[in-house]
Structure 1
Amino acid sequence: MSESTAVRVDPTNERMLKAWDGDDGALWAKRAQRFNDGVAAYRDTFFAAADIRPADNVLDVGCGAGQTTLDAARLAVDGSALGVDLSSEMLGVARRLAEQERVPNVSFEQVDAQVHPFAEARFDVVISRHGSMFFGTPLAAFANLARATRPGGRLVLLTWQPLRLNEWITTFRTIFAAGREVPSSDPALSDQLEIEELLNSAGYTDVRCTAVNKPMYFGQDVDDAADFIVEQHGGRLSDLDEARRAAAIEDLRADLAEHQADRGVFYGSAAWLIEARRP
């Protein structure tokens, strides 16, 4: 039996399991450091809000290759950090890093956080850096997380703001549409009022959304960034002929060149820093 079939997921999350424990997860595992570098500018703001204390027990939802979980474990030196994700390959990377970096108070589990039976009131802090946007039924998922958060415990999330505020998303969607209709859907958990209503309904209180704008890193130069972005998004060009694929990649390279700075290629991004408390 494969690891994917062994994971209990809500039926609404089966598609996410197939993706994250399949090709998407394999790519993110392979490129784990680059994905971490991409959003590194958000790190200090995120962990300042999380305010993890030495004795805290922390849950990291959608932990991926484990960087945020390891960072949390280092702060909770007398407590613990548990990272959960659907991707067995990314969790494999996370476990190897924990061993290499000798972080003893961290663990990782391949579970669906929407339905996993976490111990009630187990965690002092629940965090998720862009990992909480993929639930099939968000209300059920956050209600499950609220049940696992101790009274007075904290929830801290990073999610993307609407599409129009994220230059990197709009640019790459347009380029890889290559003249076809450009997808226009906003990322999940990008509407402030909906976020507040969702978390209040799930059992959290004192919900606060703070707009944070940071540059996202995509590579040290045009060649490096183009290789990374095409590896991630190039499948969207697979139904085009060779000439149109080549034209789209040239458009990408030209745009990357316009975003080249001394320290690399950067695009504007906009996130919500979401904070809430379990009453």
Structure 2
Amino acid sequence: MGHFTNTAQAEAWNGYEGAQWARSQERWDAVNDGFNQPLLNAAAISETDTVLDIGCGAGRTTRLAARRAGLGRALGLDLSAPMLDKARESALHEGVENVSFVQGDAQVHPLEAEGFDAVISRYGMTFFTDPVAAFANFHRALRPGGRLAFICAAEAEANEWLEALTSLRDILPLGGFGKPGGPGGPGMFSLTDPDHIRGLLTAGGFTDVDTHRVEVQGKWGADAADAAAFLLDSGPGRHLLDQVTPPEQDEAGQALTAALKRHEANGAVWLRSSSWLVTAVRGGAAPR
């Protein structure tokens, strides 16, 4: 484990948030797997590439990248020990041998200079306290002409899971959660503005920056009640529930179940996630 400067995120992802994601890996993959093929295709991973997966979590995209780079290798980097334990367990179970996982802070982790052909991430790029430093670090890690590709959430209101959760505003103390706003500190909606994304990547040394909207229907549960329980067990949901009384918690569960009923189809609850697929290329020397 390396030095952490992103201490608040390290605490969260090594606490309840990381533990919940680790034990619910298969469920989160069912939500987000629709983004895997667009992401990996955009990264143009070849058979001999060396790939770096930022915020790899439980390692689903790292293992998929490793399979594409069958004669190369893939390295997953994340803050979360519980999720990395799950990633290693899954790689062993699946027999993916050209993959490894390291706990570290991507902003400052000493990555091998010009050691990677591609850097990828599925929802791992929005939690930096210093995103320019992070992108400059990835720039240094890429070989000349190396490719960056990542998925990040588009505007909050375009995501149906958040629309469902914010329908509980009269029950739970949502405050500004889910409200549109400009780029701010670390958080899943910190990169919703394509101009902001381009500015950060350009400052980090990247060129040919492009953003393309990708929308995916993710499976959130077997039925409305199951999906509601899962949503309220997630990090944001649990944080909100912990601030209200048990009767209010029950009311929130019932209200969310009712709100999700209209999304039931074909034996599951399907919710749209809207994200940016961001691509860029290593340019010249990054700022020091």
TM-score of the superposed pair, with normalisation by structure 2? 0.90
**Per-residue deviation, 1:173:** 3.0
The partner residue of 1:216 within 207, 218, 222 is 218
**Per-residue deviation, 1:243:** 3.0
- 8 Å CA contact 1:178–1:248 kept in 2: the answer is yes
- 8 Å CA contact 2:51–2:116 kept in 1: the answer is yes
- 8 Å CA contact 2:172–2:244 kept in 1: the answer is no
Counterpart residue type for residue 17 of structure 1? A
The partner residue of 1:92 within 54, 73, 85 is 85
SS at match of 2:26: helix
**Per-residue deviation, 1:185:** 5.2
- 8 Å CA contact 1:177–1:236 kept in 2: the answer is no
The partner residue of 2:3 within 8, 27, 36 is 8
1:278 corresponds to 2:282: yes
Q: What do you get for the CA RMSD once the two structures are aligned? A: 1.5
Instruction: Work out the CA distance in 1 between the residues paired with 2:260 and 2:80.
Output: 30
Q: Any gaps of 5 or more consecutive residues in structure 2?
A: 182-188, 284-288
- 8 Å CA contact 2:232–2:241 kept in 1: the answer is no
**Per-residue deviation, 1:84:** 0.5
- 8 Å CA contact 1:63–1:84 kept in 2: the answer is yes
Match of 2:286 in 1: none
Superposition pairs of residues 112-123 of structure 1, within 5 angstroms: 112-123=105-116
- 8 Å CA contact 1:176–1:237 kept in 2: the answer is no
SS at match of 1:39: helix
**Per-residue deviation, 1:86:** 0.6
**Per-residue deviation, 1:249:** 1.3
Superposition pairs of residues 1-279 of structure 1, within 5 angstroms: 7-10=2-5, 13-175=6-168, 178=171, 180=173, 181-183=175-177, 184=179, 186=181, 187-232=189-234, 233-279=237-283
- 8 Å CA contact 1:7–1:110 kept in 2: the answer is yes
Q: Any gaps of 5 or more consecutive residues in structure 1?
A: 1-5
- 8 Å CA contact 2:172–2:252 kept in 1: the answer is no
TM-score of the superposed pair, with normalisation by structure 1? 0.93
Q: Percent of pairs identical after alignment?
A: 39
Instruction: Work out the CA distance in 2 between the residues paired with 1:257 and 1:31.
Output: 22
> After TM superposition, what 4+ stretches of structure 1 lie above 3 angstroms from structure 2?
179-182
Instruction: Work out the CA distance in 2 between the residues paired with 1:204 and 1:246.
Output: 48
Instruction: Work out the CA distance in 2 between the residues paired with 1:145 and 1:200.
Output: 12
Distance change (3 Å), C-alpha of 1:228 and 1:132? same
SS at match of 1:113: coil
**Per-residue deviation, 1:164:** 2.0
SS at match of 1:83: strand
Instruction: Work out the CA distance in 2 between the residues paired with 1:14 and 1:177.
Output: 33
Return the structure number with greater helix share.
1
- 8 Å CA contact 2:164–2:260 kept in 1: the answer is no
Instruction: Work out the CA distance in 2 between the residues paired with 1:177 and 1:149.
Output: 48
Counterpart residue type for residue 96 of structure 1? E
Distance change (3 Å), C-alpha of 1:114 and 1:257? same
Instruction: Work out the CA distance in 2 between the residues paired with 1:167 and 1:101.
Output: 32
Instruction: Work out the CA distance in 1 between the residues paired with 2:271 and 2:134.
Output: 31
